[in-house]
Amino acid sequence: MENKNQIFPRLKPLCVALHQSALEVNGPKANINVLTQRLEDLKHALSSITSKPNALDEKIAEYVFVPLSYVLKASQRVSVRCMELTFQCLAILIDQGWKSRIQPQLAAQIVILCTLMAEKNPKGIASSESTPELQASALWCLFHTFTVLGSAENARGSLNSEENFPQLGQTISVILDALIEGGSVEAQVAATNALRSLVQHVATREVQAAFLPGIVSKLTKVLTTQSKQRRNHVVLFGSLEILQLLFRNTLDTKANNMTTSNHSNETKRIQSSVINEKWLESAATQLKPAIANIVRLKDHSRSDVREALAQVCLLILKQCRPTLEDCAGLALETVLLLSADESHESMKFRLESLIFGDPSISDLLQNTLYNWLQSLPTQIQGADDQAKVRRLQQINTAHDVLKSSGADISTLERMLGGILRDSMVVTIQDRVPREQHEASVSPLHSLDLTIVQQQHRNTEFTSSLVKHKGQQDVIDAIRQFTITVSQRSASSFAADVARSLRQSTGEVQIASFWLLLDITKATLERDPQVDALLTVSDRSPLGDSHLLEDLYSFSLEVLGDTSDDPPDDRLQALALRTLALRAQVLGKDFRHELIDALYPVLHSLATPDELLQQDSITVLNVYTASCGYGSVKDLIVENVDYLTNAVGLKLNAFDVSPQAPQVLLMMVKLAGPSLLPYLEDTIDSIFAALADFHGYPLLVELLFRVLSVVAEEGVKAPQLSITDGKHEGRVTVIDQQPISIAELAASLQDRSEKPLPAEPVDNEPHPQRPWKTIEDADRDEDQEGEEDQVTQPLDEPEKPPPAPKTYKLLLKISELTQHFLPSASPTLRASLLVLIKTTMPAIARHENSFLPLVNTLWPEITSRLDDTEPHIIGNALDVVALLCEHAGDFMRSRVLQLWPRLVEIHGQIVKDIVQSSMPTRALQSEKKQPTSTSTVSKSSHLKQAIARFRSSPADYSDTGTRQTWTSLMHTVPAIVRHVTIPADLFEEALEMMSPMLDDAKVMEAFESQNADAVWLSRVRNGTVAVPRMPMLNEGIKLGFVMVNG
């Protein structure tokens, strides 16, 4: 009481001042700003006082209400802000002051007043339109009024009386309009709370039944998802709670006549009962479309909204099912879908409890699951991927709930194998012909990317059956259902699918394989404690190990298929995953299986399909990790015997299929140079195959591709690596360099210092017979050698170390190319020239073998300079440059013989460049000019054409011309730098390369032989300015002097 005695003196001056300002509104001294300020002061004081519980009572509330009532009476002359503050103060008085002791008449007046002010266009205020803030304040005031009426029996009964029925309907209508069209989220939330409080605390069952169709209709508009207006989740949650209250109070046949127990003593109730059989039938008909729209909220992002929707659906199943029989199936579908979310495990538990308590729900669920399974393949054919995923989740949850509840679903489980297989077939069927989306990447080109990825030691597979995102979601849903079934009980459908695996074909076989593989994974990953709880009848007729062995055997058959019609890439991908699973299960014991399981993986690695290559690399990584090898390289080297034997058997058995060469190619790519010493016999088999099957161009190209890879890896061997560009023992010819003036003076000085011969030397006739026979000369040399050895030992030169095996391998491969360079296949000719370029630097380290090889290959290489393909001519020029670089002056006579052809090639390329770079009219006019003028014109045109050719992008010029020009620009400087050529050839080469002297490498090559000639050529071309003669002073005169001697 003492606290309240302190409150009253605090509120009294504020109320008096407010009362005075409210009275002044009707007079000439009206000041709305002062009134607004005093209302704010009062609101602030009330909020501060009510921060402590039970601070106000009904007497203080009545005292404070007096000045507020004067403001309400003057509503048409005060501002909207004043009305807003008034309703906020009134809400505090209702909630903290009057509470349950509010008078019925006062409550009715407040409801009427708040209803008027909650309208969009209220008639009792100065403004023609309300504001969202005023509307929200009036609705919150209604909320507090309905809340306290729940404990005020007399006031509640008066409000539910028959004479107040129209006003109650008007209030409900205004609240619903504000809920739908509220100007702000705050107004919509206030309307939601006001309507929920009205239904929960005030309206009787008959009142709720009378207004049920209208309320549900308006709430359906709120709960129906719309793209134009996104409802606040609080509004959606509150609306679903209101529906739950209405359904429980009106549609439950066991519901009490009143919402709460306090309603039993109400007076002046509506005498005629609204709820009867006819009303229930009508309500069920009207509610069915509404519920169908409401359940769309199952996809809402907020979990609290989905939880509230599940509560409504469970209520329909548990308490309203007799009335809403037609909606039970829809409600069950929604609950099953929402229960699939892991965050709603309690919801699944409530559904299981509902099935335990009501067997009819179990029957309904079984019938629903049966219908879903029957229609699943058809639904999978649709275009809505999200609908497919939802249906699979519903099926999964329904099966799980029925299994947990102990229902007999053996009939349904016998359907699962065929249904899931057919659904998977429909999912993975190609709507686009395979030829349109098959990879067209060459194995060698795409393999480089795959090996780079292999370095990361990835052991996780990508999805082998997915073509787009939607398909991924559907396949994941099928996989989840398969895993769930397998973990709870290994049902008989696995045995049915396993029996049909080998007899089926196409997508059916792929789907069966995929299902069995997922089942095997699931059963192997199953917790042993859970497995111990399963009865013998629950277990699959196929044991886990037996099923894996069967799949493993089938996978080896798929990967080892050498027929003309190879297996589907997806089937091979599943087979690779099976091999990896087998390796992971067996661990190091899988080493004994590598004799059969390693070869097929290496063969699949050579496929043009990049995804299959990645899967093969992943399998190799799994093999490496499971068997305890350090790397894939160690895996291949340790099992090289098995692999080379398999490859050799196929090559020696006249097998013309590309499988064996592809496997060998992958072995060398993965293991590198360390594998080459083990391949001597296998390379011999390749040579034999080339001799036997030279008439098969594709096979020959593949075999040489293998040899090219062997060469690429062989030159990486440490004993063959070149640290510098020098080769000992090379025979060179003395360069005839022009002598300088200083060198000439030094030479003359040396000659003058030499003594003259003392006496002339008599000429003797040449011998008429040999001094000694060859045998005697050799014998004398041996004796002299022995004597010299006794007297003075000689230092014998060390013999060079023997060439390694890899060197002999490369030499043999290079020698073999001479027989196939004239091949009719341009691809093969080009690849052979590239192979020679690869092996030459390594072979050149042993000159005794290298120079004879040059002599052997030279005729075939030079013959390629007459080839019809420009890129082959370019490759041949590159080989010539490489031979000159490594053989040096050994190539002198050959270069002299080849030089006319090089000049001819240069002339033809220059002609093509000029024709492609100049307009036709310019060429015609040039032909009409005199010879001297034409020569100068050609020189200038050539410079311009070559400059334009070099500066233009590669895409805007002929590829063959550009490649041949580039190779020639590399070959001629290589000849000048490394081979001694006559001066006339040097000048001709310099003239050919004059447009390219601005290139640093070209100029350096020529300057190393004759820098003065290069300078003079550049002066002629105008790239270097001509030096001027220095000017002499006038006093200096030049003349000749006679020198004696």
346-350, 460-464, 528-532, range with the lowest pLDDT = 528-532
d(C-alpha 98, C-alpha 329), whole Å: 48
Distance in angstroms (rounded) separating the CA atoms of residues 1037 and 991: 41
Kindly state the tokens that stand for 1030.
Answer: 């220095």
DSSP symbol at 200? I
Q: Which amino acid is at 539?
A: R
> Which are the contacts of 759, defined by CB distance < 8 A and separation ≥ 6?
none
CA 798 from centre of chain: 60
**pLDDT above 70 as % of the chain:** 78
Q: Which residue has better confidence, 906 or 1039?
A: 906
Mean pLDDT, the chain, rounded, equals 79
Structure tokens at 1009: 């032989």
pLDDT beyond 90 at 732: no
Which residue is associated with the tokens 């359906």? Answer: 220
Name the strand (E) or helix (H) holding 412: helix 410-428
pLDDT at position 342, please?
Answer: 64
Closest CA to 60 of 9, 111, 114: 9
pLDDT-derived band at 733 (thresholds 50, 70, 90) equals: very low
pLDDT tens, position by position, 31-67: 889 999 999 999 999 888 888 888 888 888 898 899 9
Please report the pLDDT score of residue 1031 as a whole number: 65
Which range, 212-221, 340-349, 489-498, has the best average confidence (pLDDT)?
212-221
Residue 627's pLDDT band, with cuts at 50, 70 and 90, is: very high
Task: Look at residue 914 in the predicted model and tell me its pLDDT.
Answer: 80
Question: How is residue 590 annotated by DSSP?
Answer: G
Q: Residue 253's pLDDT is what?
A: 64
| Contact status, residue 731 vs residue 890, Cβ threshold 8 Å | yes
Nearest one of 602, 694, 711, 713 to 647, comparing CA atoms: 602
Of the pLDDT bands very low, low, confident and very high (cuts 50, 70, 90), residue 261 is: very low
Q: What is the dihedral of CA 951, 954, 959, 961, to 10 degrees?
A: 0
**What's residue 859's pLDDT?**
93
Residue 401: phi and psi, rounded to 5, are: -65, -45
Q: pLDDT, tens digit, for every residue of 231-259?
A: 889 999 999 999 999 999 998 766 544 44
Residue with tokens 């002061």: 41
- Alpha-carbon distance of 297 to 312, in angstroms, equals 12
pLDDT > 50? residue 445: no
Comparing CA positions, the residue from 619, 540, 537 lying closest to residue 574 is 619
Confirm if 392 and 416 have CB atoms less than 8 A apart.
Answer: no
At residue 142, the pLDDT reads 92
Q: What is the CA radius of gyration of the chain?
A: 50
Q: Is 808 exposed, middle or buried (0-12, 13-18, 19+ CB in 10 A)?
A: middle
**pLDDT for res 444:** 43
| pLDDT tens-place string over residues 751-796 | 777 665 555 555 556 555 555 554 555 555 555 555 444 444 444 4
- Tell me the C-alpha distance between 287 and 861, whole Å: 90
- Quote the pLDDT of residue 852: 92
Q: What is the DSSP letter of 224?
A: S
Q: The tokens 């001597």 sit on which residue?
A: 680
Q: Is the pLDDT of residue 448 over 70?
A: no
Q: What's the whole-model pTM score? A: 0.68
Task: For residues 972 and 516, give the distance between their C-alpha atoms in angstroms, rounded to a whole number.
Answer: 66
How far apart are alpha carbons 176 and 212 in whole angstroms? 12
Asked whether residue 574 carries a pLDDT value surpassing 90, the answer given is yes
* The 3-state secondary structure of 944-964, one letter per residue: HHHHHHHHCCHHHCCHHHHHH
d(CA 757, CA 780) in angstroms, rounded, equals 34
Overall average pLDDT of the 541-569 stretch: 81
**Among the ranges 122-126, 359-363, 652-656, which has the highest mean pLDDT value?**
359-363
Report DSSP letters for 726-771, one per residue. --TT---PPP-PPPPHHHHHHHHHHHHHSPPPSSPPPP-PPPSS-S
Cα dihedral sign, 345-351-352-357: positive
Of residues 944 and 285, the one with the higher pLDDT is 285
Model pLDDT, residue 660:
81
What is each CA distance from 524 to 255, 278, 383, 545, 584, in whole angstroms? 52, 59, 35, 9, 11
> Which percentage of the chain shows pLDDT scores above 90?
22
Tokens 């070099």 found at: 950
- Contact call for residues 696 and 656 (beta carbons, < 8 A): yes
pLDDT at 20 over 50: yes
